[in-house]
Amino acid sequence: MSKTIQISSPGQFSGLLKSSKIVVTNSAADDDDDEVPMRPKTIKLYTNRPHILGFDEADDVPATQTIEISSSDWDSTGTATIPLRFVKFQNVTSLVLYVVDGDGEGERCRLDRLRVIGETGEKRELGKLEKIGDEQGDLIPLHQNFLQSRQ
């Protein structure tokens, strides 16, 4: 049995997401469990993928960020807060999480809650080009930020 888990956002986020961290929770297992599920140890994150990755493909495609969670990262409530690389997670429209392995020798890995922390922003549309002046090819973008910076 494989120790891998793959989680992806359903479709895409409703707007651009600026993610700063993820929070993973792994609660205590039920007492009647024969085998205690492992906590995730290695997680690969993929942003803005046009489709959900297969497990073989996830092994071959470079991750946006690979996270190694040590036992010291987990607090007393079974929660680990993992900071993300600021630059790599500024314009996220979709997210795939690939749990590569767990922190033990078991066959199961357990995630009870996954929170993506950050700020949402509106999707920006680039402005149109409009002809100005009499010379052919004399175009400027009508994007609001461009116009404000030119004043």
- The answer to whether residue 92 is domain-embedded is yes
- The answer to whether residue 134 is domain-embedded is no
- The answer to whether residue 151 is domain-embedded is no
86-123 pLDDT per residue, tens: 899 988 888 888 888 888 887 888 888 989 898 887 65
**Which of 4-13, 26-35, 64-73, 116-125 comes out lowest in average pLDDT?**
4-13
- The answer to whether residue 16 is domain-embedded is yes
Per-residue confidence (pLDDT) for residue 78, from 0 to 100: 92
- The answer to whether residue 137 is domain-embedded is no
Over the chain, what is the mean pLDDT? 75
Return the higher-pLDDT residue of 27 and 116. 116
Say what percent of the chain tops pLDDT 70.
65
- The answer to whether residue 141 is domain-embedded is no
Sorting pLDDT into bands at 50, 70 and 90, what band is 3?
Answer: very low
**25 by DSSP, 3-state: which?**
strand
Cα 51 from Cα 60, distance rounded (Å)? 15
Per-residue confidence (pLDDT) for residue 125, from 0 to 100: 52
Return the higher-pLDDT residue of 151 and 7. 7
Range of the domain at 89: 5-124
Residues whose CB is less than 8 angstroms from the CB of residue 95 and which lie 6 or more positions away in sequence, other chains included: 8, 9, 13, 17, 19, 45, 46, 47, 116
Indicate the number of domains in the chain: 1
- The answer to whether residue 105 is domain-embedded is yes
Per-residue confidence (pLDDT) for residue 59, from 0 to 100: 76
- The answer to whether residue 147 is domain-embedded is no
Domain of 119, CATH number, reads 2.60.120.470
The pTM score is 0.69
